[in-house]
Structure 1
Amino acid sequence: MKLALLHTSPVHVPVFDGLRDAAHPGLALRHLVREELLERARAAGPGSVADDVRTLLEAAAADGADAVLCTCSSIGAVAEGQAAAAGVPVLRVDRPMAARAVAAGPRVVVVATTRSTLAPTTALLAEEAARAGRPVDPRTLLVQDAWELFLAGEHDAYLDRVAAALDTVTEADADVVVLAQASLAGAAGRTRTTVPVLSSPGPGLAAAAAECARAARA
């Protein structure tokens, strides 16, 4: 089984390698890192990268990928929309997380460090709520000035800043918190909030591994 992963930061490579080693040892990963896609999506909107994403997905399929997992929430919907052109299943890493959030309750706090992630994530929650026939009332929490720490490579400080923001969320505010970017996953273990905090890498990779297994059996 071979899975291609489309990243917009190299920090995700060891994270997903570690998850694969722990839970999906038979899965071969090919990492495609394109940082410029997020930069352009933030500046001009996700649609501005659609052609480049399609080209990358088509190349991954030609290279033998059974499926592609997009790990960037800002362009996940764009990637999903190019699946037919690519000819292989294309998954967004945050969809399984969104489904779990909707099942946990209607009051969902969406935490992000880049504004470009907020609209795609709230739209995804609405999709999953409609699919499940459940209500959802998302509230967004943008962690100001944290993204600059990420760009500077100060990842511990970045996660600490996010964890401090999570600490302000209480059970009076929310049924569940979703960490809208894969880069935020490490903050879940640093917060003192008693509200369940969901991240996307583990569930997203599990869904992609299952898709690869189905493709391999077909």
Structure 2
Amino acid sequence: MDRSEKNVEEKLEPGKVYRREDLVCDLVFTDHRIRQLVAQGSLEKITQGLYHYRGPSPRNYSPLTSKSLLEGFLGMGDFLLLPWQEYLSLGLNLTPKFDMHLVYNRKRHGIFRLGEVTFDVRRRSRYPTQITPEFLLVDLLNNMDFFTEDTSRIQRDIRALIHKFDGHALLKMAQDYGKVSTYKYISSWLTEMQTMLSVRSFKSDELSAAFFGNFHKSAEQPTHD
């Protein structure tokens, strides 16, 4: 390897994923040099035209992460990765039909096998910058067909949990990212919950007034010798 090739390799960042066209065009690599680095183990071929630079030597190899993999594949860092296991944090028992991770982005669409992981990449014009419990609940309602459980059961289980969420944040997430049906479900459930809370509060106040009203009346009655 001559000095120019060494200088080019020094520009590579351990752990980062590169596309072939980036290596050949931007870094002035040759396909021959790429094959050499793959044979040495410094460069790992993920799929056709996509490579993970592990590092210059085995002592300081950097592992491949889903974030770096998707950044290299999509050619940008603007995406939202949503492993299906995230839905389980809501406290529901769910079984996916396929072992895939959802990826929302503004560029590509399709199902891709990258290394050992399958990604369901979906093009969306809008998605949040981070995952919150309220977004997860909205997204679950959007994607109930992703799971083997009956949709009516999933809806019933979510309805039973809705009181644990921030109602304003949940409704905002449904407005911004939910399907029309998702927004209708959440809006009606929140209205139903508020109605039930109002009725309970009214009954509590009514009973309290009746009790304390009778108590005061008894206390005001004159005593007889």
The TM-score range, normalised by the shorter chain, is under 0.3
TM-score using structure 1 length: 0.22
TM-score between both structures, scaled by the size of structure 2:
0.22
Higher relative contact order (CA 8 A, sep 6+): 1
The higher radius of gyration belongs to 2
